Amino acid sequence: MRGWWQDLTDLVLPAECGGCGMPRTVLCEECRAALSGAVPSRVRPAPEPPGLPVVHAAARYADEVRAVLLAHKERGALALAAPLGTALAGAVLAGLRATSGATPGVTAAGGGGPVLLVPVPSSRAAVRARGHDPARRIALAAAAELRRTGTAARVLAVLRQRRAVADQSGLNSRQRLENLAGALAVAPGGGRLLRGGSVVLVDDLMTTGASLTEAARAVRAATAHAWARTRREGGTAEEGPISCRGTTPVVYGATAWEVMGERMNGSRHEGTGRRHAVPGFAGAGRADDGICAAVVAAMPDSFEINRN
């Protein structure tokens, strides 16, 4: 495991650019431009998993951007978290604008609370091996960048892995969905915290979309439970979960994620269409269901699909 002195050395004495290897710089201007120079775009994997929220990415996962992400994630180049967070913040703002049409200042101050960045967690084993949680570290840097530019934001690391999953490398999109189905859950009390602002799921990379799909399912489940509990305690529907639409409270869907969860888990009820609809809930997995996501990078072909 990395010691604190190694972290400090990385921060104050950068050995080389994380993208191209240029000496004595954290990230050279050319690699910084590759990471944050383009306008963030909506991305869609092929095939697109059911229940995947609208996702925006800052850059294509190739060349310098790929090198930067791997240097941060696998080689512990922690100083790269700041530029990666800046890139992620741009994708977060693009997602908020696309789903609400609001400017950053209005999004934060329009009555819907701050932007809540919910990172997709790494497994405990991966965190131990790497010495840090890359998505959480980048999310913290993104929140700081959003606040610096006038958008209230904070990180809610409420997602937990509730069972072990297999290594995703070598699995196709269907196998990744099956591997991750039901693997995440929101920590106790997290559902109520998620009602305090505009929720954006964040990660460093999207490949097949399986991780973000499972994270969205877990968030929808938690907010649905919190909404139902509020109703039982005498609250109103207006007190339900707040969407990433900013000023407009939107409650999340409960039908789609239950049906999808049964199918992915191989339940005997597959195909029966068993549904437990909650009055007042929008359908899950659509662009208007109140969940959006942002990543630093996505596979190049997901950008090509977006243009068609």
Structure tokens, 117: 């960045």
Does 120 have pLDDT greater than 90? yes
Q: Strand pairing partners for 118?
A: 201
Q: Are 42 and 304 in contact (CB under 8 A)?
A: no
pLDDT number for residue 76: 87
- The total domain count for the chain is 1
| Average of per-residue pLDDT values in the chain | 78
pLDDT at 140: 97
Q: How far apart are CA 59 and CA 72, in angstroms?
A: 16
Q: How far apart are the first and last CA of the chain?
A: 45
Mean pLDDT lowest for which of 17-21, 67-71, 90-94, 164-168? 164-168
Task: Evaluate if residue 252 carries a pLDDT over 60.
Answer: no
- Look at 293 and 111; give whichever has higher pLDDT: 293
3-state SS of 123-180 is CHHHHHHHCCCHHHHHHHHHHHHHHHCCCCEEECCCEEECCCCCCCCCCCHHHHHHHH
pLDDT over 50 (residue 261): no
Cα separation, 34 vs 50, in Å, equals 31
Residue with tokens 């310098």: 64
Going by pLDDT thresholds of 50, 70 and 90, the confidence category of residue 98 is confident
> CA angle 118-121-123, nearest 5°?
170
**Under 8 Å CB-to-CB from 224, ≥6 apart: which residues?**
252, 253, 254, 257, 278, 281
Task: Determine the Cα–Cα distance for residues 21 and 67; give it in Å rounded to an integer.
Answer: 9
3-class DSSP assignment, residue 44? coil
Range of the domain at 263: 4-307
Confidence at residue 234, expressed as pLDDT on a 0 to 100 scale: 65
What is the pLDDT, as a whole number, of residue 4?
A: 57
* Structure-block tokens of residue 177: 């969905």
Spatial distance between the Cα atoms of 36 and 90, rounded to a whole number of angstroms: 8
State the pTM of this model.
0.77
